A = this chain, B = another copy of it.
């Protein structure tokens, strides 16, 4: 059998192993208590069962989006494709410039919607679980919006990647 290399430092263990794990890229948006749009690129969006339809995602409580998220009734979760690369990068950089282009509109519940996304879920926040300086946010899907289908955008080994060979 293969010999595995032990990593005793837990921070290094997390970093080394997640470098080998890929994830889908999403953008989560909401509206702050003063009405301003807030959003960020996330790689932690996952389903939490289909009946009832629930989702979860993780967020750092020190992030620029935290004030809005922790007060939000709803969020919009956008799944992204190949054509959203520039948007994914913008929503991960300087938070004061994330909504400075004319590529979004205000949708249901005042949520900022990027209609170039491959799809959007309108989600009601049910529960926020604080864990150290992070939070797991759990939400209930209320409806969805389907955009143009395209190759999904992935994040892997600190790079944006497209799906390749289908092996099964």
Q: Bound complex: CA of A58 vs CA of B47, how far in Å?
A: 8
Check if A133 is an interface residue, CB within 8 A of chain B: yes
CB contacts (< 8 Å) of A103 on chain B: these are 1
Contact B119 A17 (CB under 8 A): yes
Check if A106 is an interface residue, CB within 8 A of chain B: no
Q: Bound complex: CA of A60 vs CA of B1, how far in Å?
A: 32
Number of copies: 2
- Give chain A's interface secondary structure class: strand
Given A14-B141, A15-B50, A49-B132, check contact A20 B118 (CB 8 Å).
Answer: yes
The count of chain A contact residues (Cβ–Cβ below 8 Å) is 88
Contact B167 A162 (CB under 8 A): yes
Q: Bound complex: CA of A58 vs CA of B49, how far in Å?
A: 9
CB contacts (< 8 Å) of A143 on chain B: these are 6-10, 13
User: A71-90: contact bitstring with B at CB < 8 Å (1 yes, 0 no)?
Assistant: 00000010101100100010
